[in-house]
Structure 1
Amino acid sequence: MNKTFNHIALVLVSLTIAITACGQPSNPSNLGEVGDVATTTPEVNENREQGSQTEAAPPPTEDSMANEDQTVIDGSLFWSEAHDDRTGVRFAVPCFWQVNLPAVDPGGLGAFSIRNYDEEFVLAHPRSHISEDEGAIKIDMVYIQPSTFGVPVDVSLEEFAQSLTDDEFSELLSTEQVLINGQQALLVTSRDERDDSTNLYHLFGLSTDLVLLFSVWPQSALETPDVQGVLNSIAFIPEVNVQIPQMLPMDPPLGVPASCLKGFESTSNMQDLEGSLSCQDVDDNSAEALACAIQEALLTRDMEALASLMSDPFTIGYWGSEGGYASPMDMVNELSRNRLPADTSGLTFTDDRSMFPPLQGMPPGTMFGPDVDVALIIYSEGWGGDGGGAALLYIIQEGGVYTWHSMVYSHVHFDK
């Protein structure tokens, strides 16, 4: 093995150790794909042709479930643009994310992090151990100068990726040329031999002697809308503009302030919803009985029971953004991880249409098109990490059987 390349490989190994120390579980589970809103690392096809080039999938930009007359909230208002003046790298981040660019860096360009949580969130965890299911996301941007390690300045990204895995701890599985915001990049997939985990990261050739490495913790967050929004916004060529995402950012982890998202709320005289469904004297095998079962499972955070009540696949829409579908177990994992508070006992429910949000004049029963036979809609508040979100829950009838077909989620109380 080339000792120079081994030296470079230690950079990636050190980064992996640092990320693991921030709370990555030793054996992350594969939670499966959530339709168009995948929340897990895609499976690796070790037989795919290396060196092929594809256009990276851009983040969702508009509500695919909205009709043409519906006004869609401009999610770009809730993103900020960041600049690293030392290198000219620019990118967009959700408005409440922290970008830790060094003001003075006498020791070299080094690395900086982008994360959706603050220092108080870290200190609230013993030994700073943050588990993956808390919704925390950390992006590491690492600058590496090949010449520092004696690697030729004109080395290709593929050769550089090989150097990063040229040691006893890691194995290069594949490389794929991709376009990020119209710029060449390399998607690298490697395996950590110590725990048999799979890691994906991107390499950008900023110049003949400067490479940017983009990696994410946890790995399952790579396909989330927020991380894809940051990734696809990156601009390092002067004539390329930062692509500001059009979708609303995801909720922060529980307890992390995100006051800038409150701008999504509109002024209304409607008060917060209180109370729950009345479940006395409801007929068995009715839409109301199913609604009561959903309410009970949510209030007690019984995810297994919740999954048993869902259609397969189950559909979710995001107010002002895109939606997707997944199996019931994958969907309850998505809800538990990203859409429900830690304590769900404060959720409120009603089927009284007068208590529903205005929905910009759209009849709630038309959200999923005319072919869906909606039997009952439940409006629920108290969702999201901070309890400030809401959801519409859709029960349909198919062949005389009632099932929980879908839901629409909002970071806030829709447009109340």
Structure 2
Amino acid sequence: MSIATPAVQPIQPAAPQDADFEVVRSWKAPIALSIFTVLSFLLLVVFGRTGISTFRLSTTSDLIQLPEVELPTQLTGIVISVLLLLITVISAWLVRSRARVPIWLIAVFAVLVLIGFLSWAAADKTIPVPGLLFGAISLAVPLIFGALGGVISERVGVVNIAIEGQLLAGAFTSALVASLTNQPLLGLVAAMFAGVLVSMVLASFSIKYFVDQVIVGVVLNVLVIGLTGFLYSQVMAPNAATLNQPPRFERINIPLLSEIPIIGPVLFRQTLIVYIMYVAVAVVYYGIFHTKWGLRLRSVGEHPQAADTVGINVARTRFWNVSLAGAIVGLGGAYFTLGSVGAFGKEMTAGAGFIALAAVIFGRWDPIRATLAALLFGFASNLQNVLSIIGSPVPSEFMLMLPYLVTIFAVAGFVGTSRGPAASGKPYIKS
């Protein structure tokens, strides 16, 4: 006698509700664009200036001479204000339609704001564009090296507050060694070594002894500032002719590339340290995201327990990568004495390490984005110098705080939620 079994009906999944697939709308970008649009309208239209704003696009040594660009200041301000309002409306429409505001639209908005501000500030004046950009690169070089070191450290799980100390140690050591040997290359190597020493102290206390990484970084900064200040006053300054006159790297003009209008003089008439910086940015980016080394580094910074489970030595990986980061930051310190100023000065880094750390956060722990953030800081700092030279009415204090304001707006509005590596700053205790 056979017993018939009822056919088993497959369970049909419930029909998805529309709410399950509703895209969460974020009005951060339109709100931020609206704020900038209102501020730009007040500056460019309500408090607009009359006259002609001139932009010089070539230097006297350029093979190809570009004509100067002259813009009517008041009309330019009105046109740019209308374009900014249009972009803001488009961004609001995109968000209302549950679409993402494209990054290129935000970039166009930022360029228009910059052009409008420069036109307003340079009424009846001339802004040398190559000089403005060249100075921005020069001021950004130590920030970029510091940001690259910060990205590597935090990606592997160690918060590197000691970037300031690494920069200052690199600057002091490179000036001393290059002055004694009359070899800037040896000074460059010594700067890397000094950065590694500072990083090893940070790594030892934070990784082996589980001391709070922020506290160790702050203490190291104070220690290096005090030590270099003492040695400068007691040893280097009294013997400046012997110990503080390092030879500087000469500028190297790359054939053909250095003759490209505008970008040629800016990017390809630089010193060896700047060319090393170009390579470092590309290598760090490729290494972090496209190599086994980068995969191990990121895994240790995101989930050290899982990395340990598959056989990665978490402590050793963190130690050596933090040391590598220190070597890169040390190169940035060498730029102060071997590429820019030409001699060591007491506390000459002037907080560049903390600005580099801000660039790391602004760039969301990505080497390329952190580099762009560092360039923004350098551009804002040099813009203040250029506007002061041409006699612009813009207060210098405003220009000094501008990059920090842009950072706040970018993180809150353009970039959105900024989350670092999950295990960054957390000691790993092997169970």
Q: Could you say which TM-score interval applies, normalised by the shorter chain?
A: under 0.3
Q: Flag the structure with larger Rg.
A: 2
Higher helix share: 2
**What TM-score does the superposition give when structure 1 sets the normalisation length?**
0.22
Larger RCO (CA within 8 A; separation ≥ 6): 2
**What TM-score does the superposition give when structure 2 sets the normalisation length?**
0.21
